[in-house]
Amino acid sequence: MGAPKSERPDAFRDSLATIDRRGNRIWVYPTQPTGKLYTARTIVAACLLAFLFGAPWIKLNGNPLLLFDIGHRKFFILGFIFWPQDIYLFVLGAITLAVFIILFTAAYGRLFCGWICPQTVFLEMVFRRIEYFIEGNGPRQRELNRAPMSGTKFIKKALKHSLFFGLAFLIGNTFLSYFIGINALLELISSPPAEHLTGFVLMCIFSLIFYWVFSWFREQACTLVCPYGRLQSVLLDTNSIVVAYDFRRGEPRGPMSRGGDRPGKGDCIDCGACVKVCPTGIDIRHGTQLECVNCTACIDACNRAMRGVGFPPGLIRYASYDTIAHGRPLRFTPRMKLYTAVLSVLVIVFSTLLILRTPVEATVLRAAGSLFEELSSGAIRNVYTITVTNKTADKLPVTLRLAGANGTLSLLGPELDVPPQGQRESVFSIEIPKASLFTANSLITIEVFSGDKRLSTVRTTFVGPEPRRNP
């Protein structure tokens, strides 16, 4: 957007700000931001962290608020249980979420990255704050890192990394609790590692990964790894709201003279404050860049600089390129209209399927290796297995009935008393008089009842001998 200083206006796009010409990492030492947006982000981060650490302990209707129990093949979302049979809801939910993200990004840019993404929240609001507290602001950290090892440096580094690892351990354990449940986690923590070797190894791996990400990898997770970050170039357009430098107002930039006169100059006083606070090491005055996570630190820094020289704030602000370059307000573009229409349809379909989801799911399969049996009574018998999934919070005693066919259904396996959010399997047989069969494969319907209430119906085939044809 703005006029850069390099010979080629877009030379900055050839490389990442945190990697030098030889491919080595350039460590970023951002100055801690101060300002209204930083305070607001701190409040939002505190709420998000409270939710993240508190959610595994919260139950709704006796179910976990959020649990992705892959081992037992059931997920809990907002207290609702989802089984593998609900996979279609997951697929539809994932597509709906993807369209929502595309629409949201097209309109509001990387708002999510700066305010909600756990990577930014943990790095900027937790780990970096600890670093500021122990090692001082950005320039002090740089000095400390360049200084030879001393007693003070050793103590500071040891304290910082101990705290980092302790926090990573806490995050790793919390992360694990979303997959195994808080009770299993507490058991894991209170038992000797040998009793839960897999859980213990997972706990260590998660802790080490989080420690490595937040102590060393840092902003590279956003610029090199995050697929959402890499997609920005196709999701954003000139109408998207991003953290943007108002180059029409700021350029040509130049330092303040003693008298404060700025003939022919824009409002950017070239103080560099926006660059110093940037956690990804970029200069927002070059325009929208892949590395910018929309953290708003440069807005706060620039507003402070503007106030210092008596200029109005907002030289860097949330705005679209169209607004800055042409003074156009945010428009509901055809692309956004299309996304909104698709999203509306998806939300309606998803909500309808969710509401109509049956509380009980029954899966009937022919017993392995069996076809049919001809009985001395003249009846044909087929044997089936049934799996009944109870998605409710109540115990369900289930009975089976054969609907609309001249035959009998007998339960051969255990009673189907299905526990809340549980499954039961059993075996049953169906006998139908041979005279009632007009084809080798008859379609039959089995009804699943609890008391007098029909919960579900299942269609399956009944196999018999080929009926004799009249000569």
Interface positions with ligand SF4 (CB under 6 A): 243, 245, 250, 253, 268-274, 277-280, 282, 284-285, 292-298, 301-302, 305, 315-316
C-alpha–C-alpha distance, residues 103 and 331, integer Å? 13
Supply the minimum distance, in Å, between the C-beta of residue 292 and ligand SF4.
3
Q: 3-state class of 326 per DSSP?
A: helix
Q: Which is nearer to ligand SF4, 17 or 386 (CB)?
A: 17
Supply the minimum distance, in Å, between the C-beta of residue 248 and ligand SF4.
13
Residues 6+ apart with CB under 8 A from 358: 391, 455, 456
Supply the minimum distance, in Å, between the C-beta of residue 286 and ligand SF4.
9
Q: Which is nearer to ligand SF4, 79 or 313 (CB)?
A: 313
Alpha helices, DSSP H, located in 109-196: 111-115, 118-122, 128-135, 138-146, 151-180, 182-190
Q: Which is nearer to ligand SF4, 16 or 269 (CB)?
A: 269
Q: Quick one: 456 exposed, middle or buried, by C-beta within 10 A (0-12, 13-18, 19+)? A: middle
Q: Across-strand partners of 416?
A: 398
Tokens 């320039």 map to which residue?
139
Q: Which is nearer to ligand SF4, 277 or 432 (CB)?
A: 277
Supply the minimum distance, in Å, between the C-beta of residue 30 and ligand SF4.
8
C-alpha–C-alpha distance, residues 249 and 266, integer Å? 6
∠ CA 381-459-369 to the nearest 5 degrees? 45
Q: Which is nearer to ligand SF4, 67 or 284 (CB)?
A: 284
C-alpha–C-alpha distance, residues 375 and 446, integer Å? 22
Is the CB of residue 299 less than 8 Å from the CB of residue 335? no
Q: Sheet with 441-450: list strands edge to edge.
A: 416-418, 396-403, 441-450, 453-463
Q: Which is nearer to ligand SF4, 244 or 416 (CB)?
A: 244
- Residue length, the chain? 471
Supply the minimum distance, in Å, between the C-beta of residue 146 and ligand SF4.
24
Name the nearest CA neighbour of 196 among 209, 208, 183. Answer: 183
C-alpha–C-alpha distance, residues 336 and 109, integer Å? 13
Supply the minimum distance, in Å, between the C-beta of residue 176 and ligand SF4.
30
Q: Following CA atoms 104, 110, 116, 121 in sequence, which dihedral angle do they give, to the nearest 10 degrees?
A: 170
Supply the minimum distance, in Å, between the C-beta of residue 266 and ligand SF4.
9
Q: Is the Cα torsion angle 460, 462, 468, 470 positive or negative in sign?
A: negative
Q: Which is nearer to ligand SF4, 288 or 390 (CB)?
A: 288
Supply the minimum distance, in Å, between the C-beta of residue 173 and ligand SF4.
30
Q: Which is nearer to ligand SF4, 16 or 380 (CB)?
A: 16
Q: Across-strand partners of 360?
A: 390
Q: Which is nearer to ligand SF4, 177 or 296 (CB)?
A: 296
Supply the minimum distance, in Å, between the C-beta of residue 178 and ligand SF4.
28
Q: Which is nearer to ligand SF4, 313 or 359 (CB)?
A: 313
C-alpha–C-alpha distance, residues 298 and 283, integer Å? 9
Q: Quick one: 157 exposed, middle or buried, by C-beta within 10 A (0-12, 13-18, 19+)? A: middle
User: Which tokens belong to 415?
Assistant: 């009673």
What Rg do the C-alpha atoms of the chain give, in angstroms? 32
Supply the minimum distance, in Å, between the C-beta of residue 212 and ligand SF4.
22
Supply the minimum distance, in Å, between the C-beta of residue 9 and ligand SF4.
17
Q: Which is nearer to ligand SF4, 291 or 361 (CB)?
A: 291
Q: Across-strand partners of 197?
A: none
